[in-house]
Amino acid sequence: MSLPVDLAAIERRIAALDPSQSAGLPADAPAFALLVGGDGASVPAVAPAPAGARAPAAIDALVTQSAARYGVDPALVRAVIAQESGFDPYATSTTGAQGLMQLMPATAAELGVSDPYDAAQNVDGGTRYLRSLLDRFGGDVRRAVAAYNAGPGAVERYDGVPPYAETRHYVATVLQNYASTRTSFT
Query: Between these two residues, 53 and 133, which has the higher pLDDT value?
Result: 133
Q: State the average pLDDT over residues 14-36.
A: 38
Q: Give the per-residue pLDDT at 23.
A: 39
Using one digit for the tens of pLDDT, what is the confidence trace for 165-177? 999 999 999 999 9
Domain with CATH 1.10.530.10 in the chain: 57-185
Query: pLDDT digit string (tens) for 106-160?
Result: 999 999 999 999 999 999 999 999 999 999 999 999 999 999 999 999 999 999 9
Please tell me the predicted confidence (pLDDT) of residue 19: 38
Higher pLDDT, 176 or 28: 176
Task: Write down the pTM of the prediction.
Answer: 0.71
Mean of all residue pLDDT scores within the chain: 79
The secondary structure element, H or E, covering residue 75 is: helix 74-85
Q: What does the alpha-carbon distance between residue 26 and residue 16 come to, in Å, rounded to a whole number?
A: 19
* Element (DSSP H or E) covering residue 42: strand 42-44
Interval 57-79 mean pLDDT: 96
Does the annotation count 84 as an active-site position?
yes
Whole-number pLDDT of residue 78: 96
CATH T-level fold of 57-185: Lysozyme (1.10.530)
* Higher per-residue confidence, 17 vs 121: 121
Enumerate residues 6+ apart whose C-beta is below 8 A from 145. 76, 80, 170, 171, 174, 175
Catalytic residue among 11, 84, 156, 166: 84
Predicted pLDDT of residue 2: 43
Task: Give residue 50's pLDDT.
Answer: 53
